Amino acid sequence: MPDQAPINIGDAALIEQCQRGDTSAMERLILKYQSRLYNVILRICSNPDDAAELTQETFVKVIENIGNFQGKSSFYTWAFRIAVNLTINYCRRSSRLGLKSLDFDESGDQATGALREYLRNDKSPDPASIAQNRELCNLVVQSIAKLDDDHRTILVLRDIEGMSYSQIAQVLELELGTVRSRISRARSKFKDILETIIE
Amino acid sequence: MKAEQPDMNEMLNAYMDGELATRQTVEFKRLLENSSELAGELRALEGVRNLVHHLPREESPVELFQQVRSMLERKALFGEGDEEGRSNKHLGTILYQKIRAVAAILALGSVLGWLVYSIVAPVDSGTSGLFAGSDVSLVAPIQGPMRGKLELVCVAMTSVDNFLMRSIQFNDLSSCVQKEELVDRRLYHVSCHREDMKHLLSDLNSVWHQFEKTAFYVNTDKLGEMIRINDASVSQVANLINEQDAQKRVEHARLESVRNSMATSLDLDRGMASSEDDATPSSMPPRPMLTSGEPNRTLANKSPDPADRVELTIVLRQSSM
């Protein structure tokens, strides 16, 4: 299981304080979720500046609408739904305007070699040490960016944020069965992209 | 067995993610034991998943809260729409450019006004002039307990963190504190009686010299407005927390803020700026609880008045040095 299970302890109290207008509670809520939201947005939109702006917009929308939040869904999935919708809309708009480049940057032979060894070797090296290889990480990030919006989003929510299938279903407003099949297809496509790089 | 059936790939993924029902998990485990090919596919899939899962996490932008607050102010003042604004960047029409020019002039005017205001009464830059001078109100004003934030920057974050945790335990405050650990900072959300806070501050006093920077923020009754006191001394913090009258506390905080700002601009010693002389016996207990080893004896006589409660977020930050 991914080691980033959502932390919901104290959310209800914080939200109640926010609804009463307590700015320090708003700050606490932002501090609690900013890193996770930013990383998810960054991996979906692939641009740090846009991710920073979209994270801000997400929190603005959260604060603007927190008075209407009734706790029917969890705050965690509600906030991520706002973030994902904003990010996907932005990605689609950028794509239409031709702002997004899908070409790979120059990746060193070393990174490609490390990726080949990782994928081909049955006794793969420790993934944590692989993650310290900056060029290899760039290669993986660029491969994620090559996925289409739906597959990229679901892969990020599952494998980076560590959401359960039912949480993903709530965030993306999908049936559980659709989540299951989409995750499977996203990973297959991601693997295909990686295979293309090392060929 | 080859995992080419459409459902088999989904099953493989769901098994790897721990999303199969108990019965299905048992059956799938049996299947894996009897098929080395399927087991190999599972290992390959785990490898691919781990590549993504172990990507290093990037640092989120600093001062995000301030930026969010500024964005809320801009939206309230100019009615700026996020998605519209983003799309308009690419339109480039003359009309849009004209609107932007007018908005820029207005924004410049606001900034200048804010600058002038901040010189006269320096409050936290995130919200000061814009919220203070207008009727912009997003939610109800804050009332009740004294609320604020104390930022402490030091090199030895871990040892101060340990010290603070011991102090919290010695002063019987564990149930009043929620702690969050981030990479470069520790957050303590303390909600307790005024008297208990004084004991905690008293202990903090003995490590105060380790802080390279300190800042104390006092919430006012206006939404989002906080008065920031740079280089705050422990006595200043204690005095402000000890002030029961919210209005007097805000006035007092403004004075302390000006005093410390002036001291900084005149390059005076921090000790001169701080109001050590004003630290009355009532605002600071005579001996720190942790270092004196005396148990906390004041817990029994506490007023239940909400105005006697303090909600303070202590941010202990690792110095970038």
Q: Do A24 and B313 touch (CB under 8 A)?
A: yes
> CA end-to-end span of chain A, whole Å?
31
Identify which has the larger pLDDT, B255 or B288.
Answer: B255
Domain ranges of chain A: 1-100, 110-199
Residue B240 near residue B249 (C-beta atoms within 8 A): yes
Residue B284: phi, psi to the nearest 5? Answer: -125, 130
pLDDT digits (tens, 9 = 90+) for B200-235: 888 888 889 888 889 998 887 766 678 888 889 888
* B186 to chain A: closest CA residue: A31
Question: Nearest-CA neighbor of A8 among A167, A155, A156?
Answer: A167
Question: Nearest-CA neighbor of B224 among B112, B76, B59, B62?
Answer: B76
Please report the ipTM that was assigned to this predicted complex: 0.86
pLDDT digits (tens, 9 = 90+) for B87-113: 444 344 445 556 777 788 888 888 787
What ranges in chain B are assigned the alpha helix state H? Answer: 6-16, 22-34, 36-53, 64-78, 82-88, 94-120, 128-132, 157-170, 194-205, 234-242, 246-265, 270-273, 289-292
Cα–Cα dist B262/B266, whole Å: 6
Task: Assign domain A1-100 to a CATH class.
Answer: mainly alpha
> Mean pLDDT score of chain B, rounded to an integer?
74
Report the gap between the CA of A198 and the closest CA in chain B (Å): 14
pTM of the full predicted structure? 0.55
Mean pLDDT over B75-93 rounds to: 51
Quick one: DSSP state of residue A156? I
Task: Assign domain A110-199 to a CATH class.
Answer: mainly alpha
B294 falls in which pLDDT band (50, 70, 90)? low
Residue B230 near residue B264 (C-beta atoms within 8 A): yes
Chain A interface mutation, best of B42, B48, B50, B220, highest count of A Cβ atoms under 10 Å: B48
Chain A interface mutation, best of B42, B63, B64, highest count of A Cβ atoms under 10 Å: B64
Q: Do A184 and B10 touch (CB under 8 A)?
A: yes
- Same fold: A1-100 with A110-199: no
- Supply A105's token pair: 């940057």
Q: Do A184 and B12 touch (CB under 8 A)?
A: yes
**Minimal Cβ distance to B64: which of A56, A89, A181:** A56
Cα–Cα dist B254/B274, whole Å: 13
Q: Do B178 and A89 touch (CB under 8 A)?
A: no
User: Strands B146-154 and B309-318: what pairing?
Assistant: parallel
- Supply A135's token pair: 């060029």
